[in-house]
């Protein structure tokens, strides 16, 4: 069942066709890489939900070229999927490397001169997209190792403005990804009509 939104008065800005229903999920339920829950224990639950949110973001960006990744498809917002990817790489780095591990390292995309560099540097260049994915994956791998090696969820990170427990950080990261996955829903739908997941 296809439906086209009709509230767009300018044909050149028409929305892509949209399909409704579970049968139009990006992957069949049996092929979905995310967990179906059933986690045992606090650590496994927090880690599992965060992993699923990260996978969801990857799925929302699947099969897009550099032009689509950098497209600001929900005006007047300047958000793009590439900008979100760069932002999430920066978030992973800031919280796990800088705050939790205490590493005094420069940020990937932000500087004093360019505080919005995560978004302004999101340009439709295949090399920029590849670098952003590599950076994000590297930061996620570091975060996963940090959590796996932490003696408990009570470990405190002191590298930020205020101390934070690993437990609270994991909840915050789930929230961060969930919020940006909502943004990614709208961005992706405007690019090619894909919805869900």
Question: Per residue in 76-90, pLDDT tens?
Answer: 999 999 999 999 999
User: Span 143-169, mean pLDDT?
Assistant: 96
pLDDT winner (highest mean) among 11-20, 29-38, 107-116 = 107-116
- Map out the domains of the chain with their CATH numbers: 32-192 (1.20.120.450)
Higher pLDDT, 22 or 6: 22
DSSP element (H, E) containing 2: strand 2-3
- Name the residue among 14, 54, 23, 9 with its Cα closest to residue 190: 14
How confident is the model at residue 23, as a pLDDT? 43
pLDDT surpasses 90 at 29: no
pLDDT surpasses 70 at 36: no
How confident is the model at residue 40, as a pLDDT? 74
How confident is the model at residue 32, as a pLDDT? 55
pLDDT surpasses 70 at 4: no
pLDDT surpasses 50 at 160: yes
pTM of the model: 0.83
How confident is the model at residue 1, as a pLDDT? 32
100 and 155 in contact (C-beta within 8 Å)? yes
């Amino acid at each position: 069942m296809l439906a086209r939104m009709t509230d767009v008065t300018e044909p050149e800005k028409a929305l892509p066709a949209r399909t409704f229903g579970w049968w139009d999920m990006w992957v069949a339920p049996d092929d979905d890489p995310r967990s179906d829950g059933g986690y045992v224990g606090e650590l496994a639950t927090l880690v599992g939900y965060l992993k699923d949110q990260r996978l969801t973001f990857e799925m929302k960006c699947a099969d897009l070229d550099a032009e689509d990744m950098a497209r600001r498809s929900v005006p007047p917002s300047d958000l793009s999927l590439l900008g979100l990817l760069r932002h999430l790489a920066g978030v992973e780095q800031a919280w796990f490397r800088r705050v939790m591990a205490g590493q005094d390292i420069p940020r990937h995309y932000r500087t004093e001169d360019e505080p919005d560099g995560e978004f302004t540097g999101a340009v439709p260049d295949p090399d920029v997209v590849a670098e952003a994915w590599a950076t994000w994956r590297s930061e996620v791998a570091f975060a996963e190792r940090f959590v796996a090696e932490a003696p408990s969820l009570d470990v405190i990170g002191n590298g930020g403005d205020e101390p934070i427990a690993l437990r609270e950080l994991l909840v915050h990261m789930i929230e961060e990804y969930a919020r940006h996955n909502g943004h990614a829903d709208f961005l992706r739908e405007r690019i090619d009509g894909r919805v869900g997941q």
